[in-house]
Each structure stands twice: as structure tokens, then as C-alpha cells.
Amino acid sequence: MSKPVVLITGASQGIGAAIAKVFAKKVRGVRLALVARNAKNLGATARACTNLGEGVKTEIFACDVSDEVSVDAMAAAVAKRFGAVDVLINNAGKFAGAPFAETPVADFDRIVAANLRSAFLVTRALLPAMVQRRSGDVFFMSSIAGLEAYPNGAAYCAAKFGVTGLAKVLRAETKKSGIRVCCVHPGATWSPSWSGSGVPPERIMPAEDVARAFLDIYRLGRRTVVEEIVLRPALGDV
């Protein structure tokens, strides 16, 4: 696709920033809509992307993707700046761990909103234009935690299992509409949240490797869809 519009949520750091950079480097003329709450960090990602590839255009959109009004305003601003979105990457999310019985309701709601509600709101805002054009790619960032439950992960596992289910529903509803839906399940991947964790770096996947998986899946011919992909550290789960 020539000069696609790629919208990435959670693009201010970690995997989201890595995805933005790999698309900037490898897709000529890509137009990147970078979305997150932290405008300063988004600006740093945007500047890095602009210097990586030929004809790259970037725009930042500060947005709380768990808030309906904020998402609708962001979607309108993106449409005004770039037109319809070709590739949506629902990457925004948060992690917090605690035993089931000790998880505060407010923390549960916050984690579900950041990981699941955000993906629903952003996809719902951008999907109609894809359906109308009968073309588009929608990626959902789930996790190993969206396939396998583990102790002290009530909120995060619930949210990521929800993301996995949301992706399956959208795939079932849009498979005849020219839209490809992919759910990505990474294991431990480096991000700032791992700083100070004490986990050896060799036990964590580089964010750049996960980012390249998104690009490779996008580059497949339009007659092929990767519905789900699981990525794990070579030495096993942390």
C-alpha cells in the first residue's frame, strides 16, 4: 500500500515506539499518527521516526484512549490531518499485579480500561471508514496473559483475555469486509516497566523484535491473514 496511514496507540515508549520506528524505517512514505497521553514522549518518538525513512510524515495526538470523548476527538483530528486510517495498532496498556483478593476495585477498573476499553473505543471510532473502503488492518496487543492465567494477575489477565476475545469477535464480523484482524500475544518484552525488576536482559525479548512481527504481518499479501501470533523469549517465560 502506498503511503499508508498507520495509527499506533501507546506510541510514546516501549513496544509502541518501536513499532512506529520500524514502520518509519521500512515503509516508504508512511504517515504515522502517534497516540498516547504523554505529548512530550510522543514528540521524541515522532522526531526519531522522521529521521529514519524517506518521506515519513508524523503527527502526535495526545489522548486518553480509555475516555470516549477524548477518543472521538482524536479520531476526528486524525481524519482531518491524514484522512482514513489504513492500519490501526491497539498497543496502549498498563500492567499491575496483586493477589486476587487484594486487588482494589479502582486498580481493576483502571487496568481493564487501559488495556481493553481503550482497544474497543479506538477500534469502534476508526472501523466504519475501513468497512466503507473494504480495506484495513487492525492489530490488538494482547499478551501471553491473554492466553494463560497466572497468580497475582487478576486485573491484567482479565483485561488481556478480553482483548483476545474482542479480536476474535471483530475478525468474525469483518472477515468478508476486506479487513484483516490480528491479535498479538507477546511474552516478556523490554519496556520501561522492566527497569529495576532484576530480571536478566537475556530473559526479555527486545521491543524491536516484537515490532518487526507487526510489520511482517502487515506486509503479507491481502489474501492472507495472521489471526493470532505468539511470541516468547527464547529461554522461556520469565
User: pLDDT per residue over 98-132, tens digit each?
Assistant: 999 999 999 999 999 999 999 999 999 999 999 99
Alpha-carbon distance of 55 to 65, in angstroms, equals 28
User: Is it the case that residue 221 has pLDDT exceeding 90?
Assistant: yes
Q: Which helix (H) or strand (E) is 56 found in, with range?
A: none
Alpha-carbon distance of 101 to 162, in angstroms, equals 20
Q: What is the mean pLDDT of the chain?
A: 95
Q: Which helix (H) or strand (E) is 187 found in, with range?
A: none
Mean pLDDT within 54-83 = 97
Pair 34, 60: CB distance under 8 Å: yes
Q: 2-6, 154-158, 192-196: which has the minimum mean pLDDT? A: 192-196
Pair 13, 192: CB distance under 8 Å: yes
What 3-state DSSP class applies to 208? Answer: helix
Nearest to 92 by CA among 56, 68, 72, 120: 120
For residue 162, what are the contacts with CB-CB under 8 A and spacing of at least 6? 112, 115, 116, 146
Q: In this structure, what are the phi and psi dihedrals at residue 53, rounded to the nearest 5 degrees?
A: -145, 165
Q: Round the CA-based radius of gyration of the chain to a whole number and report it.
A: 17
What is the separation, in whole angstroms, between the first and last Cα of the chain?
A: 38
**How much is the pLDDT for 195?**
75
Q: Where are the domains of the chain?
A: 5-231
pTM: predicted TM-score of the whole model, two decimal places: 0.96
Mean pLDDT within 146-156 = 95
Tell me the H-state helices in the chain: 14-26, 39-50, 68-82, 105-112, 118-133, 154-174, 207-219
**Residue 57 buriedness (CB in 10 A; 0-12 / 13-18 / 19+):** middle
Q: 68-72, 91-95, 164-168, 182-186: which has the minimum mean pLDDT? A: 91-95
Mean pLDDT within 133-159 = 96
Q: How far is CA 60 from CA 13, 43, 84, in A?
A: 13, 7, 16
**How much is the pLDDT for 1?**
59
For residue 41, what are the contacts with CB-CB under 8 A and spacing of at least 6? 12, 13, 17
Q: Which CATH architecture has domain 5-231?
A: 3-Layer(aba) Sandwich (3.40)
User: Is it the case that residue 199 has pLDDT exceeding 90?
Assistant: no
User: pLDDT per residue over 29-65, tens digit each?
Assistant: 999 999 999 999 999 999 999 999 889 999 999 999 9
Q: Is the dihedral of CA 172, 173, 177, 183 positive or negative?
A: negative
Q: In this structure, what are the phi and psi dihedrals at residue 153, rounded to the nearest 5 degrees?
A: -130, 30
